[in-house]
C-alpha cells in the first residue's frame, strides 16, 4: 500500500462550483453538514456560482438546504460549517472570477475543485483553473454524466488531462459510494466459497433492476437530452456489472481494482438494436420540456454479454426506468440447477434455481436462496432465503464518503478514464440506431417486449417495495 510518507496529502480547501444549483442544494450541502458533524470537515469551503450573492446569502442558502434535507440536530456543527464558508460570484468564462477565487482560497495550496455544474461548463472551468494557476497540487472532482457518447467523453478527458494529471481527476458516480454497492466487492473477495461457482459453469444468468416509481418530475428538458440508457444504465448499472464480473485484483490497492473493472468493460460485446428494449411511460410527452413526438426512453432493458473466459455465454440482463411498480434496486445471480434431477419438485416448473440476491435499495441485504425439505416422508421442499446481511444503522451516505475520499486522495470509489471510454464503446452503437420506444403504463414493469427479452432465462425478478 506504500509507505506512510508517500500517502496522498489531504486537500486543504474545497471549492464548490455550482453552489447555488440543485445538486449542491439537495445532495452536497447536506453531505458537508454530515461531514462536519463527524468532525471530518475543517477546511475552507468556497462556493462559486453566477449570482452576485453576499456571504450572508450563501449562509442562508446552506442553512435552508440542510433544513430541507432533514433537521438541524447539531447547532454547533452548523455554526462551524457556516464559519468555513466563502463565496465568489461571477462568470466562469471571466478570468476575473478565477482571480477572485484565488484570493478567497488565501493560503490554501491543495484545493479540491468540485464541478457540480452542467457538463457544458466543464471545459471553461477546467481551462480557467489551469490559466489561473489553481490546478497545481489540486484535485478535480467531476460529477456525471462524463460525456454523452464516446467522442464527447474522449474530448472531455483530453480537456481535463490537459490541466490535471489522471490521478488527480475524481469522476463521481454516487452509486459507487453506497454501502450496498461497496459490499458487492467485499462479499465477492472476502469469502472463499463463492469463487468456485462464480463463473459460466455454475451461473445461468445475472439480472439487475433499478426501478423508480416516479416520473421525470421537473427534469423533462434534461431527460430529453439524456434518456434512461445514458442516465442510469451506462454508468450506475455498468458499474455494478463490473464489480460482479471482475477478476480478483492482483494486489491490495484501488489501482488494481480499477484495472480489473476496465477489463470487464473492454470485454463487453457492443450492443446491437435487438439487444435493447426502449420504453416510454404514458404521459411522458405531456411533461414540461418534453417534445410532443419524443422518442426518448424513460425505460431501458438490455441483454449484455461479456466475452471473457469466466463469463462467456452467460447473459446479463439490465433494466431501469421511471414510473415503474416500485422504487428499488436489486441484483439476482441465478445459478444453474443440479445436473441430475433426483427430486420431482426440483424441475424448472417449481420455480427458480438457487440464486444469490443483492438488495441495494431502499434497504440493503444479501440473501442466498436454497431448497430445504419439508417435514414428512415425501422428498419435497421449498426454496428459502438465508439472509447474510441486513441494513446497518449509521451508515455514511454516498456523497459524504465520496467527497471525503476525494479530499483524502483515495480514488477507490471513482471511475478511471479507460473504464469510462470502454463503457461508452459498448453503448455507442445503439445511441443513434435503435428501435422506437414502446409505450408502457405507469406502475408496471415496462413494456411487454422487455419480458420477451429475458423469457428464455426464467423471466425478470421483480423487487418488492419492502422486504417481507
Count of CB atoms situated within 10 Å of the CB of 402: 25
Residue owning grid cell 509507505: 3
Annotation says 258 is catalytic: no
Q: CA 193 to CA 187: how far, in whole Å? A: 10
Q: Contact 102/4 with Cβ under 8 angstroms?
A: no
Catalytic, out of 25, 174, 236, 258: 236
Give residue for cell 483524502. 408
* CA gap 434, 278 in Å, rounded: 8
Within 10 A of 234 (CB to CB), how many other CB atoms are there? 26
Cell, residue 433: 440506431
CB 216 within 8 A of CB 298: yes
Q: Which amino acids are annotated catalytic? A: 236
Amino acid at each position: 500500500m506504500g509507505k506512510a510518507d508517500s500517502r496522498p496529502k489531504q486537500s486543504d480547501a474545497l471549492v464548490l462550483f455550482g453552489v447555488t444549483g440543485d445538486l449542491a442544494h439537495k445532495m452536497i450541502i447536506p453531505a458537508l453538514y454530515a461531514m462536519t458533524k463527524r468532525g471530518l470537515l475543517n477546511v475552507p469551503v468556497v462556493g462559486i456560482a453566477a449570482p452576485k450573492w453576499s456571504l450572508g446569502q450563501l449562509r442562508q442558502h446552506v442553512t435552508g438546504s440542510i433544513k430541507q434535507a432533514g433537521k438541524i440536530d447539531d447547532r454547533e456543527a452548523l455554526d462551524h460549517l457556516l464559519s468555513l464558508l466563502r463565496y465568489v460570484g461571477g462568470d466562469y468564462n471571466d478570468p476575473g472570477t478565477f482571480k477572485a477565487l484565488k484570493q478567497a482560497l488565501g493560503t490554501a495550496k491543495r484545493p479540491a475543485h468540485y464541478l457540480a455544474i452542467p457538463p457544458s461548463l466543464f471545459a471553461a472551468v477546467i481551462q480557467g483553473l489551469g490559466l489561473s494557476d489553481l490546478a497545481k497540487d489540486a484535485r478535480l472532482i467531476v460529477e456525471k454524466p462524463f460525456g454523452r457518447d464516446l467522442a464527447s467523453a474522449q474530448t472531455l478527458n483530453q480537456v481535463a488531462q490537459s490541466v490535471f494529471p489522471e490521478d488527480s481527476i475524481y469522476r463521481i458516480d454516487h452509486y459507487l459510494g453506497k454501502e450496498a454497492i461497496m459490499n458487492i466487492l467485499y462479499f465477492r473477495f472476502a469469502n472463499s466459497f463463492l469463487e468456485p461457482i462464480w463463473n459460466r459453469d455454475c451461473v445461468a444468468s445475472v439480472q439487475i433492476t433499478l426501478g423508480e416509481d416516479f416520473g421525470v418530475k421537473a427534469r423533462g428538458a434534461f431527460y430529453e437530452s439524456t434518456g434512461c440508457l445514458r442516465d442510469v444504465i451506462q454508468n450506475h448499472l455498468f458499474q455494478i456489472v463490473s464489480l460482479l464480473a471482475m477478476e480478483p485484483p492482483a494486489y491490495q490497492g484501488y489501482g488494481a481494482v480499477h484495472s480489473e473493472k476496465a477489463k470487464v468493460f473492454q470485454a463487453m460485446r457492443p450492443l446491437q438494436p435487438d439487444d435493447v428494449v426502449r420504453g416510454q411511460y404514458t404521459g411522458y410527452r405531456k411533461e414540461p420540456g418534453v417534445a410532443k413526438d419524443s422518442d426518448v426512453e424513460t425505460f431501458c432493458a438490455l441483454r449484455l454479454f461479456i466475452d471473457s473466459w469466466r463469463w462467456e455465454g452467460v447473459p446479463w440482463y439490465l433494466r431501469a426506468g421511471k414510473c415503474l411498480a416500485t422504487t428499488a434496486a436489486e441484483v439476482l445471480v441465478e445459478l444453474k440447477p443440479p445436473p441430475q434431477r433426483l427430486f420431482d419438485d426440483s424441475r424448472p416448473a417449481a420455480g427458480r434455481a438457487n440464486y444469490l440476491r443483492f438488495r441495494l435499495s431502499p434497504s440493503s441485504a444479501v440473501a442466498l436462496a436454497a431448497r430445504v425439505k419439508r417435514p414428512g416422508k415425501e422428498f419435497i421442499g421449498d426454496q428459502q432465503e438465508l439472509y447474510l446481511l441486513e441494513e446497518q444503522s449509521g451508515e455514511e451516505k454516498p456523497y459524504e464518503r465520496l467527497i471525503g475520499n476525494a479530499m483524502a486522495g483515495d480514488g477507490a470509489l471513482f471511475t478511471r478514464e479507460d473504464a469510462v471510454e470502454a463503457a461508452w464503446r459498448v453503448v455507442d452503437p445503439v445511441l443513434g440506431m435503435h428501435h422506437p420506444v414502446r409505450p408502457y403504463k405507469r406502475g408496471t414493469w415496462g413494456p411487454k417486449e422487455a419480458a420477451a427479452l429475458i423469457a428464455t432465462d426464467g423471466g425478470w425478478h421483480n423487487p418488492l417495495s419492502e422486504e417481507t
